[in-house]
Chain A
Amino acid sequence: DAGVIQSPRHEVTEMGQEVTLRCKPISGHDYLFWYRQTMMRGLELLIYFNNNVPIDDSGMPEDRFSAKMPNASFSTLKIQPSEPRDSAVYFCASKPKGLQGPKPNYGYTFGSGTRLTVV
């Protein structure tokens, strides 16, 4: 299995531009999570999906952020318009259904992250 695949790995964009981050979860995983990591705020959960349905989006910072999961194998996180304070590393993670996944990671698998820089 290729694991959770995020693209792009790095993104540099100008303030005001639209940015789209992409994630392909592990096949068969029912849950998908989007996290944002910054020095000031640490790792924040932005939104998560179960069976393609958004369950909790309370972490989405504002209306400029939107996330979709059109099917079980693809999700996007979009920022429009982007601002310098959106600069962060964005992680996607997925997990199978059930209370406790198998070893070694008990189900949660993280992608390599997308480092976003808004100038």
Chain B
Amino acid sequence: AQKITQTQPGMFVQEKEAVTLDCTYDTSDPSYGLFWYKQPSSGEMIFLIYQGSYDQQNATEGRYSLNFQKARKSANLVISASQLGDSAMYFCAMRGSIGGTSYGKLTFGQGTILTVHP
């Protein structure tokens, strides 16, 4: 079974600073995908970034980067130059591989509420 753990219920950051949101995972699937989503107060789920388990480089999407450490089973999200609009709930999620027990479905962590202070 897949498991995603986000140990930070809440995080605070000053505007324009960088922040790291932690995510660790556990899976028996030979390959997998890791996702981060943002959920603002309006409630929609917004895709941020994706990392495949066999990708050689860490994923980056604008101000978002994923610090992927496979041996440690961690996939931390780094947001650089935080903006007030980054205040939201952030979810880490994992998808299993074809042939694995968890193929297709996304398993989510508990989420981290990020608050950006001016």
Contacts and interface: CB of A to CB of B under 8 A. Distances in A.
Interface string A83-99: 00000010101010001
B111 to A, nearest CB: 6
A95 to B, nearest CB: 7
A42 B111 contact: yes
B105 A33 contact: yes
B105 A45 contact: yes
A13 to B, nearest CB: 19
A91 B35 CA distance: 17
Contact of B105 (A56, A91, A106): A56
Count class of interface residues, chain B: 20 to 34
A67 B52 CA distance: 31
A113 interface: yes
Nearest to A55: B104
Contacts of A113: 43-44
B47 interface: yes
B50 A106 contact: yes
A43 interface: yes
Contacts of B111: 42-43
B52 A48 contact: no
B78 interface: no
Interface string A75-119: 000000000000001010101000110001110101011010000
Given A45-B107, A95-B104, A100-B52, A112 B33 contact: no
Interface in B9-48: 33, 35, 43-45, 47
Contacts of A66: none
B81 interface: no
B60 interface: no
B88 interface: no
Interface of B: 33, 35, 43-45, 47, 50, 52, 91, 95, 97-98, 104-111
23 contacts: A33-B105, A42-B108, A42-B109, A42-B111, A43-B91, A43-B111, A45-B105, A48-B105, A56-B105, A89-B43, A91-B45, A93-B45, A95-B104, A99-B97, A100-B33, A100-B52, A105-B47, A106-B35, A108-B95, A110-B44, A112-B43, A113-B43, A115-B43
